[in-house]
Structure 1
Amino acid sequence: MHSSIRRVRAATAGALAAALLATSLVAAATVGTATAQPGAAEPGRPAASSLPTGGLSVTGETAPVHDPALVVDDDGTWRVYTTGLVNRENGGTVQMWSSHDEGVTWAYDGTVWDEIPAWIDERFAGPDGQGTLPDNLWAPEVYEHDGTYYLYYSASRFGTNTSVTALATNTTLDPDDPEYEWVDRGPVISSPHDIAGGKSFNAIDAGIVEGADGTPYMAIGSYWYGIFLVELEWPSGKLADGALENATHLVDRMMPGNPVEAPYVYAHDGWYYLFVSFDACCQGLDSTYRVAVGRSRDVAGPYLDADGRDMADGGGTVILRSHGAVVGPGGQSVSDGVLAFHYYDGANAEIPGFPTLGLQRLDWRDGWPVVDQSAEAPVVAGGPRDVTVRGNRPAGFEVRVEGAPAPVVTWETSDDDGASWSAAPAAATRATDGAASWTIKHAGRQPDGLLVRAVVANAHGEVRSEPARLDVVHRGR
């Protein structure tokens, strides 16, 4: 049995600059995941399946993020793997992020390797050593088979289809495990090469899926002739014999440039759903990325959209586009009904268009995935109120909030009458019921007159409540 894998990002000043450059230089890609076979029960974990449908607000270190590959590990940890920083900052290799509270709060965990594998530089340098080297690694994909984790990643010469998708393997995703090590296994598929009877493609944006008989496949492609499906083999995780010649052409926009990429195939309720990104990524607030989908009873297609059009002949039903401060959403993946994607943050006043992690739990209507594109900036509707307690008793603060998607609430405190504020040791909360609270268990240990306020945020903005005051009455007063 496959373990349940899902796809569900604060950086140094240098990393911020690199990420801004990434918005104009990094080609978009996507990820895939182990999926249930059509007709079988989907893999389920309370961490994902109990979440409400619609947008899932996040907090913490959620940027700079491109091409999020989300894995919910067996211990409940949510891990995200993303495209590396340009200019080889932090080595330029695949980045890692984690959450221990069902995808609410995220922390940066470093990179898979310290540097890009030497064979990639040798390959792109060419025989004369003068070729342009890739700035970073793109489009991580994590898939588990028979106790081994397969990490697919891409390298490319930007703006060309001189590209390669390669593979690394590991026996664990936990960096603290003594057995943890990503072992590079070299190239899997490269371009420019002919595919499917003489067509051209770009060997980036790998997504892995298994057919009903357990045969593994890779969805691959970006621009050129679009998206293709090629057969793999276990346990190598590499191409099966004849994979390029026998590839299936899945998606073609049938327009100049063929702006489609980021294939991801997800099994649900007897169907395979093919998600792709249409149009232009990586242009900050000028990005026009949007997510489209088609479905098929067979992993090899044809994939038809909601109007019955074949995606290989210009079809595709758009389900997610720019809305509110969410600009150019794409680079998507889906697992256990959760859509993970990146977008360019129109609400970030400090760095407009910063690439950021987005999450949506899909709704399903008439056999089609539906997202909630409501865009309402967060509002503090009431609270918190001043609290007076005696001795070492608990003190509770509550704030009522509005906004769509439901905001995340964190808390701040000040012990100098509001001159400075610091994050409180309180868990972040998605206010799905319109309220959030924080209890100081031993209020008597806090300074008398402590100020408390709520920070309320979603993808479309951030506000702070008016401060509430904690008064502590000690015995004898």
Structure 2
Amino acid sequence: MKHSSFFDKIHWRVLTSLLLLICGYTQGQRPQPEAPYGIHDPVMIKQDSTYYLFCTGMGISCYSSTDMNHWTKEAPVFKEPPAWAVKAVPGYKGHTWAPDISYHNGKYWLLYSVSAFGKSTSCIGLAENVTLDPDSKDFKWVDHGKLIQSVPGRDDWNAIDPNMIYDQDNHPWVCFGSFWDGIKMVQLKDDLSALKEPEAWFSLAKRQRAFNGQDTAAGDGAIEGPFIFKKENCYYLFVSFDYCCRGLNSNYKVMVGRSRELKGPYLDKNGVPMTEGGGSVVVSGNRRYPGVGHCGVYDFNGQDYIIFHGYDRVKGGMPRLLIEKLKWDANGWPYIDGLD
């Protein structure tokens, strides 16, 4: 009788689980991924009670969550590679890099990067949506095409890794850049349709680099992934130093400088300008995550968070989403308590 009762309970639990699973699909619910792996260059935003995460991937990968712990993979932003990008960047087939999401004037704006790896044949595009809820009847991504382009031999900067920031008068700017001559910034028209004229370009951060004899070479001054976050009366420029994308050989780290003015100069804790290689460490790798970087910084419900990816030794160097509470010391510098 004991064996019969035991197997009856197991049978009932299995049947109940199957019924719940079927009901979940009937109600349109999607199964949760086991862990947020495979995530590169994450950015996040909150709409109502749901967090939406966008990251590098085919068509721009998208995830949703109600608690920032359990994530559901959504459909990519683009079902097909944007035709303009295929034409502009030879070899581009839809794998889209380093997006940025923001909310402005009642719409969600998504910046994204298309590029040839290791080259400055790159473009930054812009898309919009009135909602991020894929179940809404109003959900539709509208692509506005190319916003910024870098051309080898003409530009000594790389048009990838964009981040939208608004100044004290609510005018939009885009900071961007990877390797080459570092991090740049340019103002947009207020309707985000194009660069404001006359164009004015600003240098925010760079590192000394060696050249290999080619004018357009990236060199070894590894700096990329800019993100500007305003805290009280200061703008904080977060960037990533050193190398990503090498699995367990990555040595990525997040650095920061700050300025009273959006256009800089951004200085580190020691007063060194970021345009002269300055930067103070916010988070660097540990034994489990040898390389961590490409961050976004957000205030959700009065708590500041830093999100980034790390190459996880437990999974053989796979990139994983990492989220940490961002704290501020007595002198107004950001830090975290440490990686798990």
TM-score interval, normalised by the smaller of the two chains: 0.7 to 0.9
The secondary structure found in structure 2 opposite 1:121 is helix
Counterpart Cα distance in 1 of 2:76 and 2:155: 35
Provide Cα deviations, 1:22-77, integer angstroms capped at 9, x if missing partner: xxxxxxxxxxxxxxxxxxxxxxxxxxxxxxxxxxxxx844011001011111x221
Equivalent position amino acid for 1:108 in 2: K
Q: CA RMSD in A?
A: 1.7
Match of 2:271 in 1: 308
Counterpart Cα distance in 1 of 2:83 and 2:172: 28
Match of 2:44 in 1: 70
Match of 1:104 in 2: 69
The secondary structure found in structure 2 opposite 1:119 is helix
Provide Cα deviations, 1:364-422, integer angstroms capped at 9, x if missing partner: 00210011225xxxxxxxxxxxxxxxxxxxxxxxxxxxxxx4xxxxxxxxxxxxxxxxx
Provide Cα deviations, 1:68-110, integer angstroms capped at 9, x if missing partner: 011111x2211100101xxxxxxx210111111x212112112
Preserved CA contact (<8 Å) 2:172 2:192: no
Instruction: Describe how 1:361-376 pairs up with structure 2 within 5 A.
Output: 361-365=325-329, 366-374=331-339
The secondary structure found in structure 2 opposite 1:312 is helix
Counterpart Cα distance in 2 of 1:77 and 1:201: 36
The secondary structure found in structure 2 opposite 1:233 is coil
Match of 2:83 in 1: 118
Instruction: Describe how 1:343-382 pairs up with structure 2 within 5 A.
Output: 343-348=310-315, 352-365=316-329, 366-374=331-339
Match of 1:222 in 2: 178
Give structure 1 regions of 4+ aligned residues with deviation exceeding 3 angstroms: none
Preserved CA contact (<8 Å) 1:93 1:115: yes
Equivalent position amino acid for 1:345 in 2: D
Q: CA deviation at 1:192?
A: 1.5
Match of 2:288 in 1: 325
Match of 2:201 in 1: 247
Provide Cα deviations, 1:238-272, integer angstroms capped at 9, x if missing partner: 311133xx211110112322210000000002110
Counterpart Cα distance in 2 of 1:240 and 1:77: 33
Match of 1:261 in 2: 224
Instruction: Describe how 1:411-426 pairs up with structure 2 within 5 A.
Output: none
Preserved CA contact (<8 Å) 2:121 2:152: no
Identify which of 138, 143, 166 aligns with 1:210.
Answer: 166
Identify which of 130, 136, 139 aligns with 1:180.
Answer: 139
The secondary structure found in structure 2 opposite 1:347 is helix
Counterpart Cα distance in 2 of 1:94 and 1:210: 24
Preserved CA contact (<8 Å) 2:81 2:94: no
Instruction: Describe how 1:454-465 pairs up with structure 2 within 5 A.
Output: none
Instruction: Describe how 1:86-101 pairs up with structure 2 within 5 A.
Output: 92-100=58-66
Provide Cα deviations, 1:407-453, integer angstroms capped at 9, x if missing partner: xxxxxxxxxxxxxxxxxxxxxxxxxxxxxxxxxxxxxxxxxxxxxxx
Q: CA deviation at 1:134?
A: 4.7
Provide Cα deviations, 1:189-227, integer angstroms capped at 9, x if missing partner: 000278xxx861000000011111111110011111000
Identify which of 202, 223, 243 aligns with 1:280.
Answer: 243
Counterpart Cα distance in 2 of 1:302 and 1:201: 19
Preserved CA contact (<8 Å) 1:323 1:373: no
Equivalent position amino acid for 2:64 in 1: S
Q: CA deviation at 1:233?
A: 1.5
Identify which of 270, 291, 296 aligns with 2:254.
Answer: 291
Provide Cα deviations, 1:123-148, integer angstroms capped at 9, x if missing partner: 23xxxxxx433561111111111101
Gaps spanning 5+ residues in structure 1: where? 1-58, 85-91, 125-130, 375-404, 406-477
Preserved CA contact (<8 Å) 2:82 2:94: no
Equivalent position amino acid for 1:132 in 2: G
Q: Percent identity?
A: 37
Equivalent position amino acid for 1:186 in 2: G
CA pair 291-242 structure 1, distance change in 2 beyond 3 A: same
Preserved CA contact (<8 Å) 2:84 2:146: no
CA pair 230-103 structure 1, distance change in 2 beyond 3 A: same
Match of 2:56 in 1: 83
Q: CA deviation at 1:114?
A: 1.3
